[in-house]
Amino acid sequence: MTTLRTLRLGKAVALAAAIYGAQAMAQIQFQNNLMPQPVEMSIGSGGLYLDSTFAVEVKGVSDARLTDAIDRAVRRIEMATGLRHAGRGIAGTTRLVVKIDHPSAPVQSINEDESYSLNVTSSSAEIDATTELGAMHGLETLIQLVQPSGSGYVIPAVTIHDAPRFRWRGLMIDCGRHFEPVAVIKRNLDGMAAVKLNVFHWHLTEDQGFRMQSRIYPGLTAKGSDGLFYTQQDAKEIVAYARARGIRVVPEFEMPGHSTAWIVAYPELASGTTPAEIRREFGVSPYAIDPTRDTTYIFIDHFLTEMADIFPDAYVHIGGDETPAPDWKTNPRILAFMKAHNLKDNDALQAYFNTRILKILARLHKHMMGWDEVLTPGLPKDVVVQSWRGEASLFKGAKLGYEGILSAPYYLDGMQPAGMSYLADPLPSSSDLTPEERKLILGGEVCMWGEHVDARTIDSRIWPRTVAIAERFWSPENVRDVNDMYRRLIPTSIEIESLGLTHLESEDPGLRALAGTETIDDLRTFASVLEPVSFSERARTQHTDQFTALNSFVDAVRPDPPSRHWFESAVKRLLADPRGDITDRTELAAWFTRLSGAVPTARQQMLASPRLTEVTTRADQLLQLTVMGQQALRYLGNGQKAPANWKTKQIEMLDEIRKPSALVNFTFLPGMSELVKAVSE
């Protein structure tokens, strides 16, 4: 079957294309913005100009999933370039050719071949892949290749052979603590597909909410969700949406801990006392499902059987973490059971529970996954361990023969910069695992826990940092240039914004609401150098629970904004030769001036709005920092010495500024320290 589609240029662009013609051909300068970077790429000369003769051809095998993916890709190229798609079969001469060997299996397996080749010449772009999964990755690469050239757009001539380093490249979203609407999930799936992530790990139950409808046990959402849950129809829609984008959906149903919502609805599952309602507080809860009753397993069996119908993926995540279960140490019935079954402690009882759940899942042809804690002696080998504790724990599992994925360095709520997660490798070549053990490391997952995010802020916590981690999961280990990563992060961030993600736009509405005005230029400038504190610092400093309105300044600002890496790099270059090239010095000085110029108005707005007042200290500190910065630049530029005690005073000031205030930190303190230290006294 051959499908033809045609792109037609808008009138203005088409004319321009006719005019620039051949001259422009010579001007192409390949800009490598690809993210993740492909395994192999060679760059040719010239490229494929997107003009009115552009058409799409599917060679050989075709199915609706592939043609839909191509349609979406073409629509995105249109939006990015102003090209005009006529939507039907006007034969063109310039072609995008997509060729796959055979269709994907109905359920995407972890072993499906994801590789593709992409060959762009001046007359065509050809994608070859085993299945549509590889073809979809190739289309994403193609979109990222499109670049301006003269007055039009071109896909530079390249030959790419690409395949992922890890089979499991996931993003987990916790919808238990705060519910996330279907639209939020969908736009995040779009973002995932754009950077070739292939597993959406859907954390669906928590002490704070049971988010998945069960028809057999309607109480789970009736009593456990505040009315905020996914219907089975919603879930099926999301599974289909994900599949259309080459993404598997692994549902997580937390048991036996983090299970307040189950127990509120069905007290017969309780190990002891029954909570009166779902938990509003965060943190580890004392409630746990009773592992000693047969009725518990009948319940879970029915429930998982029902879920198997909605979630076709071969894996089911049972959580299994953080189960102190004090009832297991005090409930006489449970203690008697443990004694009778020779289960010496809580861990042994949980292992017993896991083994029984594993049997249920085996009957359903599902693999079981759990967090580190499931890894207890006697755990059958057919369980995948997700490590939130770190590499040591992951590698220990591998040495014991368990498959595993790494999550510890990819916790987004830690608010660490992209560059840091980026360098955390799930399987460094330096590790002491044997080749066989190495095979057990399936990949990694980014984790977005839900305590401090809602539909308005979640995208800015996930993106663009997850783009960097997605590259870690896909690209070869030696792709580790942090500067180049940050350079490519900007266009990729804008690309995924065009898919509907709100990570770049959510700050402004937050600031407007806080200030009660549309005039937020200065407040925005102020916010550009601040970022949220980590989850743990916020949890320690502010008492938050499920009812806390996430509408403070900390919720508006985003983690790792561009100021962080920009400043760090500029300072590094400057300090390498402080009296050399003045570009960085000039730019840094102008930056400080701009920041200090923004403070007066921003500060006025803070004083006028009770919800902003807490940030006033940070505004005052910003003024101090800009004075400090300008002085340091002057001393360094003149090669002049600072007055006695200047450095001591600045360092004291920095120490003061590092102290917690308003739940936000300045992004550029490390560079400031360097700058101050470099001054001679």
Residue span binding a second copy (CB under 8 A) among the ranges 397-405, 423-431, 441-449, 605-613 = 605-613
The span from the CA of 84 to the CA of 299, in Å, is 55
- Smallest gap from Cβ 1 to a second copy, in A, equals 20
Q: Does 152 bind a second copy (CB under 8 A)?
A: yes
Minimum CB separation of residue 83 from a second copy in Å reads 8
Choosing from 78, 237, 306, 322, the catalytic residue is 322
Give the C-alpha separation, 315 to 81, whole Å. 40
Per DSSP, 37 falls in state P
CB 49 within 8 A of CB 17: yes
362 near a second copy (CB under 8 A): no
Nearer to a second copy, 11 or 658 (CB): 11
C-beta of 464: minimal distance to a second copy in Å? 10
Cβ-count burial of 416 within 10 angstroms (0-12 exposed, 13-18 middle, 19+ buried)?
Answer: middle
Give residue 390's region: left, alpha or beta (phi > 0; psi -120 to 50): left
CA-to-CA distance for 75 and 7, rounded, in angstroms? 10
Alpha helices in 506-582 (DSSP H): 507-515, 521-527, 535-541, 553-556, 562-576
Residues between 75 and 134 that touch a second copy (CB under 8 A): 78-87
State which of residues 13, 133, 288, 468 lies at the interface with a second copy (CB under 8 A): 13
Smallest distance, a second copy to C-beta of residue 519, A: 8
In the set 1, 22, 340, 549, which binds a second copy (CB under 8 A)?
549
Closer of 329 and 594 to a second copy (Cβ): 594
Identify residue 242 by its one-letter amino acid code. A
Q: Which amino acid belongs to residue 344?
A: K
Least distance from C-beta 522 to a second copy, angstroms? 11
By the rule CB under 8 A, 294 interacts with a second copy = no
Residue 667 near a second copy by CB under 8 A: no
Q: Interface with a second copy includes 237 (CB under 8 A)?
A: no
Q: Does 377 bind a second copy (CB under 8 A)?
A: no
Distance CA 386, CA 447 (A): 11
Q: Give the span between the Cα atoms of 558 and 528, in whole angstroms.
A: 8
Residue 518 CB, nearest approach to a second copy (Å):
6
Q: Minimum distance between the CB of residue 270 and a second copy, rounded to whole angstroms?
A: 22
Separation of alpha carbons 440 and 429, rounded Å: 14
CA-to-CA separations, 633 to 361, 564, 658, in angstroms, rounded: 64, 18, 21
Q: Is 492 in the site for a second copy (CB under 8 A)?
A: no
* CB burial of residue 244 (10 Å; 0-12, 13-18, 19+): middle
Pair type for strands 199-203 and 205-206:
unpaired
Nearest to 422 by CA among 441, 403, 444: 444
Encoding tokens for residue 347?
């861990």
Spatial contact of 257 and 319, defined as CB atoms under 8 Å apart: yes
Contact 518, 650 (CB under 8 A): no
Tell which residue, 656, 536, 564, 662, has the closest CA to residue 606: 662
Nearer residue to a second copy within complex by CB, 294 or 518: 518
Provide the residue type at 484 as one letter: D
Active site residue 322: yes
Distance CA 171, CA 250 (A): 10
Per CB under 8 A, contacts with a second copy among 20-59 are none
Of the listed pieces 118-126, 255-263, 480-488, 604-612, which binds a second copy according to CB under 8 A? 604-612
Q: Should residue 234 be labelled a site residue for a second copy when binding is judged by CB under 8 A?
A: no
Q: Where are the beta strands (DSSP E) in 230-340?
A: 248-252, 315-317
Mask for 503-532, x = binds a second copy (CB under 8 A): -xxx-xx--xx--xxx--x-----------
C-beta closer to a second copy: residue 553 or 635: 553
Q: Decide: is 583 part of the binding site for a second copy (CB under 8 A).
A: no
User: 377 or 610: whose CB is closer to a second copy?
Assistant: 610
Site string for a second copy, 441-470 (x = CB under 8 A): ------------------------------
Instruction: Give me the 610-629 binding string for a second copy, x by CB under 8 A, dash otherwise.
Output: xx-xx---------------
Contact window for a second copy (CB under 8 A) among 250-258, 357-365, 401-409, 602-610: 602-610
Binding footprint of a second copy, residue count (CB under 8 A) = 52
Annotated catalytic sites, by residue?
A: 322
Site residues (vs a second copy, CB under 8 A): 10-13, 16, 78-87, 148, 150-153, 183, 490-491, 493-494, 497-498, 504-506, 508-509, 512-513, 516-518, 521, 542-543, 547-549, 551-552, 562, 608-611, 613-614
